[in-house]
Amino acid sequence: MSSISPNNPSHRQDPFEGVDFYALDELLDEEHLLIRQSIRDFVKKEISPYIEEWAQNCHFPEDIVKKFGSVGAFGSQIPEQYGGGGLDYIAYGLIMQEIERGDSGMRSTVSVQGSLVMYPIFAFGSEEQKQKFLPKLASGELLGCFGLTEPDHGSNPGGMKTHFKDMGDHFLLNGAKMWISNSPKADIAIVWAKDESDRIHGLIVERGMEGFSTPETHNKWSLRASSTGELVFDNVKVPKSNLLPGKSGLGAPLKCLDSARYGIAWGAIGAAMDCYDAARRYANERIQFDKPIASFQLVQKKLAEMLTEITKAQLLVWRLGKLKNEGKATTAQISLAKRNNVAMALEIAREARQIHGGMGITGEYPIMRHMMNLESVITYEGTHDIHLLILGQEITGIQAFK
């Protein structure tokens, strides 16, 4: 690939300063503000100058993993004794917001590692598993992935076919997972599979185990700077000590998804803020009919509606974060926020793209990249419609999935 240098003038300047129309910073404490600033600085230095080229070239920069580790982006909500940050859920949300302001694919890497790999090991793992894996995952020495989705079971993971047999001194794992973020580069995979009684369990599958492969998924138009692939298990011998002993059943992976979906609700605001900020600047600079396009009412309408929706979304996640800190946030509340905020961000990306006219389709601006990324974000971790049905079930008491 071509050389990537921040000194190359084609590499994007990043003048972003935040969006806070309702003085919501007053709801954050000193530590939250410091964490947000340090991640914002990190994104400006380590992601913004390069992201366009990574995305254009479908390149996942493997060295970013240790850099994320060094800035405390992995497992901020995991206790410090295991290498995590020991921080609250507002801090976790702010980290996701700032990283997704840089790129949704970068945020994917971080939310998978923190919420879908470290969290299940922390919540359902043995003490030995926690000691062995969590500090290395926190530092970025190890990269993990989470295998729930299968080729024939996406929205309905309970129908999964991946299974394992008890062979006495080990388990024998067979099956395949699809659409797995980080998989081609991951050192370990948290794999959800059925035992001989059709009960779902989590297994830690390690790179190098015979019969385990991770083919990469090519030709994506979305999350191009994130590495996506399959997990294939062909008679993989998994040591019994690699089974997560603390919880079984579909509720175990769904509990991990609660944490990751919560992070996405914050992250989507980051992508929306970046699009809004770029559109606001562009509207003031771009002259048509001898005036800045910002002087036209239709452009002002777009900007005013963007700011309104971002502000509503910010209030939503702040309250959700407080509930999460108190252990009270429900799955349906998280669904509402993930669904609303991702759709909001996608709509803002589309409107921002229009404000940029033809320039909006180029890599000179972050808009089209965010827009294409958000097409994955609105699908993974439960599609837009699945979250609507989770809410429908909460409201009516009637499940409409099946």
143 scored as a contact of ligand FAD (CB under 6 A): no
Q: Three-class SS of residue 337?
A: helix
172-191 positions binding ligand TGC, by CB under 6 A: 181
Q: 271: closest CA among 372, 203, 384, 173? A: 372
Residues 6+ apart with CB under 8 A from 350: 371
Residues 6 or more apart whose CB falls under 8 angstroms from that of 277 comprise 16, 17, 19
Contact 44, 11 (CB under 8 A): no
Is 190 among the residues that bind ligand FAD (CB under 6 A)?
Answer: no
The minimum distance between CB 135 and ligand TGC, in angstroms, equals: 22
Question: What's the closest the beta carbon of residue 343 comes to ligand TGC, in angstroms?
Answer: 16
Binding track over 250-289 against ligand TGC, x by CB under 6 A: xx--xx-xx-x-----------------------------
**390 binds ligand FAD, rule: CB under 6 A:** no
Structure tokens at 218: 């090519």
Q: Which of 147, 229, 263, 267 binds ligand FAD (CB under 6 A)?
A: 147
Contact between 385 and 391 under an 8 Å Cβ cutoff? The reply is: no
- Sequence-distant (≥ 6) Cβ neighbours of residue 212 within 8 angstroms: 205, 206, 231, 232, 233, 234, 236
Q: How far is the CB of 110 from ligand FAD (least distance, A)?
A: 12
Q: Which of ligand TGC, ligand FAD, none is residue 248 near (CB under 5 to 8 Å by kind)?
A: none
Tell me, by CB under 6 A, how many residues bind ligand TGC. 25
Q: For helices 331-355 and 384-396, give the axis angle rounded to 10 degrees.
A: 140
Cα angle 141, 146, 150 (rounded to 5 degrees) comes to 145
Catalytic residue among 26, 80, 381, 394: 381
Angle between helix 251-285 and 104-111 (nearest 10) = 160
Residues annotated as part of the active site: 381
Which residues make up the interface to ligand TGC (CB under 6 A)? 108, 111-112, 146, 148-149, 155, 157-158, 181, 249-251, 254-255, 257-258, 260, 331, 380-382, 386, 390, 401
Which residues make up the interface to ligand FAD (CB under 6 A)? 112, 145-149, 154-155, 179-181, 223, 228, 376, 379-381, 383, 385-386, 389, 401
